[in-house]
Structure 1
Amino acid sequence: MIQVINRALDILEFIAEEPERPRSLSEIAEKLSLNSGTCANIIKTLVTRNYIEKLDKKKGYCLGSKSYGLTKNEGYKKDLTKAAKEILEHLTKKLNENSLLAVLDNELRRVIIRVMSSHPIQASTASEKRAYDSSSGRALIAMLEDAELEKYIKKFGLPKKGEWEGVNDERGLIKQIELIRAEGYATQLTKEKIVGLAVPVYKGEKVIASLSIYMPQFRYDKSNKMETISLLRQSSKQISKKLV
């Protein structure tokens, strides 16, 4: 048995016992009888691979997105899903279109909760998708601080050809980002003729997620666009109030 793999699994299993409770480095090391340096190195690797997420320095570590992704579980960030679920259900009931809440996970937009409409013909979107290639992802990227945005572009590059309509270079990307920031929402029409509208969700002054409605293009009524955006914004504010 390879000892370092065994220890890494021990750490994951310990954190998974109470996935919503952050664990400090000292707590993990003490519980598993590990040298603090060894424990820190293993955790650093697990954080880099997104199996563990580092919270504020004083809070410690919790399960990361990849741990949930192993089982295709969208139960990531339970505090956020708990605050948002009922609000998304109400939004979908009112508009009778699919809604989702998503977070930015490196270059991906990751769905953490979704509510489906009652229509027999459904729009679909993957649980994980390149952030550039979704309205929810675009909203999240656009709301990054300038320094974070610069790092994001440097690390993950520009949108691939055809991934973001109207964006062919960095100048075009920045122009679209400035437009999203000015308007406060992002949109997308996919090659599959799916329309997505998304707004940011705040916790305090920080954007932590995006809220989106998506539907087949044939059901999208442009004349009601701003009414839909208004409902999205209202729902986003309701989620934010629950997170205070």
Structure 2
Amino acid sequence: MLPEKVQLLERIACILDCFNAESRQMGVRQVARKINLSVSTTGRLMQAMREMGLLVQDPTTSLYGIGPRVLSWADAYLASLDVRTLALPHLQTLHRETMETVSLYILDGDARICVERLESPHSLRLVAPLGQRLPLYAGSAGKVLLAFLPRAEQEALLEQTDLQPLTPYTITDRRALLQELELIRAQGYAISHGEWIAEANGVSVPIFDRTHAIHAAITVSGPAQRLTDEKIAAHLPQLLAAAREISLEMGWRPNPLFPSLATAGGAHEHAR
């Protein structure tokens, strides 16, 4: 039996959990059924929550919705989000598990920037330069960021990008690159074989934010002789799991209309 005050807090949390993007307004009876409480108890709680600013009530329909007090808390939480801070524990776990260089990239206009890097303990390793602007069309991180952009933004970026070869394996044909981006959207990850740095391989997965937009990318990279396709396949489930956890912490929630970040090799939802 929970202490009375804890039970009250749990009931308030359960009531707030009933409201989401699909259920923005609800009546007392609807909420009571969802949380398995009597209508009278639920009604008293919701009325008290309205008086505290946790809920608002439509005077015409008598339906309830989330109140301004909760929204102010949400704003404070969202303002505190920093993808680097949230991602670092997951990057450290990946680093220990893969023993390869693990990097975190974000978009910066028409480029990508490495904002966190944990170098491989091996003497032969790939080093991603922190803070340097790098192309989106070459390398697994750039491709995954580009692939999950909204179509109009993606097309605009490609229109202004000169696909210069950085290595013999860089994709420089626009049609081939678009096909590659379609594949990345479908499978939910990107792989690079020497596209940005010759003799270096990488695999990247997307991180989404609360609006389901692409926010960042995690990459495991290393020398091609060590980071083989077999090793990439072995590391992929760990990468996908880490990306899902970070996305959840960023406010992302699985959309039933799209596949989720849950399974390795499965499609990821695409921001419009």
Q: TM-score, normalised by structure 1?
A: 0.63
8 Å Cα contact 1:83-1:239 kept in structure 2: yes
Supply the distance in 2 between the matched residues of 1:224 and 1:193 (Cα, whole angstroms): 15
Partners of 1:179 and 1:116 in 2: CA distance: 29
Residues 1-244 of structure 1 aligned to structure 2 (within 5 Å): 79-127=82-130, 128=132, 129-154=134-159, 156-162=160-166, 165=169, 167-190=171-194, 191-204=197-210, 205-244=212-251
Q: Distance in 2 between matches of 1:158 and 1:233?
A: 31
Tell me the TM-score normalized by structure 2.
Answer: 0.57
Residue 163 to residue 206, structure 1, CA distance change in 2 (3 Å): farther
Q: Tell me, what secondary structure is at the counterpart of 2:225?
A: helix
Mapped contact 1:132–1:164 kept (Cα < 8 A)? no
Secondary structure in 2 aligned to 1:132? coil
Paired residues, number: 168
Aligned partner of residue 223 in structure 1, secondary structure: helix
- The one-letter code of the counterpart of 1:225 is I
> Identity of aligned pairs, percent?
24
Unaligned runs of 5+ in 2: 1-74, 252-272
Cα RMSD after superposing both structures: 2.1
Tell me, in whole angstroms, the C-alpha distance in 1 between the residues paired with 2:153 and 2:135.
17
Q: Residue deviations 1:161-213, cap 9 Å, x none?
A: 35684734322221111111111111112243111110100113111000100
SS at match of 2:137: helix
Alignment CA distance shift 1:162-1:119 (3 Å): closer
Cα distance change, pair 132–175 in 1 and its aligned pair in 2 (3 A): same
**Greater per-residue helix proportion:** 1
Q: Distance in 2 between matches of 1:207 and 1:104?
A: 9
Q: Distance between the aligned counterparts of 1:180 and 1:166, measured in 2?
A: 16
Kindly tell me: are residues 166 and 236 of structure 1, through their superposed partners in 2, closer, same or farther at Cα, counting changes over 3 Å?
same
- 1:188·1:196 contact (CA, 8 Å) conserved in 2? yes
